Structure 1
Amino acid sequence: METDRVKLRYRAVLIAGPTASGKSALAMAIAQRFGGTVVNTDSMQVYADLRVITARPTIVEEASVPHRLYGHVDGAVNYSAARYVADVTALLAELGDSGSLPVLVGGTGLYFKALTEGFSAIPPVPEPVREAFRARVQGLETAMLHAELAACDPAMAQRLRPSDRMRVMRALEVFEATGRSLASFQGARQPGPLDGLPLVKLFVSPEREEVRARIDRRFEVMMGQGALEEVAALRERRLDPLLPVMRAHGVPGLIAHLDGQLSLDDAIRKGQADTRAYAKRQVTWFRHQMEDWRAVAPESALDLALRELNAVA
């Protein structure tokens, strides 16, 4: 059978690309053709709070082919790459038992790299430590936090921009919890669950202007589908603004609108601009970090994937 040959030749299909590149539709087509399961590899689509504004597959799409690791995390959780790898490792074992081909799709390069090349085993920061630390530094300017990091962990301070509040906070939290530099954990890597396995790895790469136009159109569509109401419900939870779910593209601008700080048109423009900038960073990151991936235009991606998967081992 065609599906049996896929099992013998490849263990998984990996599909990456900038946001709004059409990679989710490609993943569904492959999963439908080969009896596969679409597996989320996007760091924002894991959150239950945000279906619309993160462009998660619709309920109808999820019903048409198996989807996993979408919307399975509460927004109050600071979901990490290490936890993602643990979730995928367990899922791969389950799919292997059932004979379903994993089709991993998303735009989070760090997740793909952790799966294929391994990851640093950074211990989780206990929640009481995180809460106490954030209460202590609330209101402090980022430059002051960077100076504090330079005093206790000069190695990490040298790596981070003084204006990068999120990463400076992360380094300080790890030091507070462990007494060790984050750099010391980053040096030791554990193998990823897909390391060394035969994989199809595709990077869907539309023309830049096409991606920009798609992003702008999609944001307007999401607004019509209830993105503002979704963000309003998230806002009512009063979560820590440093949590990943609070920084999803479009969320900060729409919250600013709900708080009376931006007009709705300005909030939409901000969401579109932030997403366009992110798409540009995704392309740059994959170009420099994932050189063994095959870049393919959206219109030819399915044909190429089918040829690869149908090739006799």
Structure 2
Amino acid sequence: MILGLREQKILASIIDFHLKSGESVGSRTLAKLYDINLSPATIRNVMSDLEEFGYIEKVHSSSGRAPTNKGYKFYIDSLLEIQRISQRELLAIRKMKNLELSNSAKLLASMTSHTSFALEPNILRERLDKVELVYINSRSFLAVVVTGSSVKTKHITLTREIKEEDLRNLSFYLNSVFKGQILEDIEISSEVSPLRGETVLLQNFLTQIESNIHIEGSESVIDYLAKSNADLSSYRVFNAKEEMKSFLEALADKSEKDKVNIVLGDDLDSEKLKGLSFIFSTYNKGSSKGMIGIVGPKRMQYGKIAGVVEGVVNYFGKSSKGREDEES
């Protein structure tokens, strides 16, 4: 069924009513509350068609109808208008002096009252710019990895002694051989390394660097899950950062670039996320992709929240790009 303007207007009104009240709605109420300019009888006939094609459903014995997941998807994809953020909200974003990713998550949580997340770009997919091995003493050194977007460090302790000159030679070797290679593809041979059997410590650092995830306001979504009698496993997703990070990385890979993405939990391959919605956008840092957004109940003010997410991501992304240009 191709929805005409009349069907779209009535579906949008049903969803607006449901977002605000959580209740199903009948034709008489729609005629009174919304500027549809159709009689209750005509609205009822259109609602019958929408129900037949799966956009709305009868949820209990009342005469009202509520949107289905298909109805929500059509609304999000075709009818939703992203609202521009207010001057007050824009000012709050611009006052974010410390551009650490964790602060963008805190700001988003405070502005939307929803659980927010910020995922660093996956550095393992970037190319190596430089490795520095800084001698501390005969049994320890600081490993510094530099890519186009990040600098990561790790203090490595050895069980055998190493000379400062050997460590310097190893740094030269690594930069000569592996500069420009994707981090996760690097393989260091213990035969050419003065670290010998403990080369694996450096190898693991280079190829297993983890991107950080910041989650703020998790009590918001957990409170919603509790009220909706969700399974206990749903709570753990938002308390287990590794599980959440893996999920968000997969979501980022499937996202559309340069736009706010809205994904319904009912469309994801996980019972734990049903009844939730994700609003997020990605940003580029170097050759990798980061992600900032919120998660909340399916009933939320999509247009307003999407505008806030867009504002925060645009500011953070542009400011990060500016800092990279200054540093290069």
What's the TM-score, normalizing by structure 1? 0.20
Q: Provide TM-score, normalisation by structure 2.
A: 0.20
